[in-house]
Structure 1
Amino acid sequence: MSHSRIIQVSKERVEENERLDSSSLELDELLHEIDGVDYVMEPDSSREVELDWLKEQLDKVGFTLDGEKITVGKDETFLSDWREKAIEVAEEFSLWKMKEVASGVYFCAFYIYDAEFGYLMPLWEWAKQVLGNDQTYYVGGIIDYHY
């Protein structure tokens, strides 16, 4: 069993009482978006620890995190890495691995919930969608999920 996170992001600051939490999510609906999820809960660690972890993950796609403010980058290097891994996996013809790479979960198995899109997407997919849009996002709720 492993665990990862669901991170709520918004173009507007998210007040504490408006943050997504585990009671906001229906497990049956999550099963359609996250393979094998068996439960969600609030993280055991502090928000500061969770934000430090998120900062490291965002660095991998060229985005920055300052406090709770995400600045979208313009560096497309992660897309090149993604393409290279996709070619490598396609040559192996591992369908499971191809699905993981194509979705972006292969690189980081956590999900972003951006209400503007209205559904969960892996970080790398979300980063690809918002890359270079000169938009600032704010971190809302942080939820731990197990799969």
Structure 2
Amino acid sequence: MPQPILPPFTEASARAKVQAAEDAWNSCDPDRVALAYSEDSEWRNRDRFLRGRGEIRSFLREKWARESDYRLKKKLWSFTDNRIAVRFEYESRDTDGQWWRSHGNEMWEFDADGLMRRRYASINDHPIDQSERRL
């Protein structure tokens, strides 16, 4: 089991935290992804507000049930002692076969154990043709 990446962050550890998040989300495994969040984690995801690992896990199950061929890329934007900001882009296909590109920003705040206690995501979605995929 890899060592947890703990605050205070350096540029190298912030980049490693972002890469670990990207890898976990690309697994599309709600149980794996949920382990990165504190038991009482707070989320804003578009217009939804979630609290706690259980709600996060349920949200992710619903998400990946309707978003097929999901592929995500995250990039470090900024960091401080226990906060990281990222830009992201992902592509997926809905149940009707329409491809989508979603992009936006996330603000993360971590507890002393390296678990994310707050995640605020602003996301925009655009329909794309399969030929326009970048990821």
Report which of the two has the higher share of strand.
2
TM norm. shorter chain > 0.5: no
TM-score (norm 2): 0.33
TM-score (norm 1): 0.31
With a CA cutoff of 8 Å and minimum separation of 6, indicate the structure with the bigger relative contact order: 1
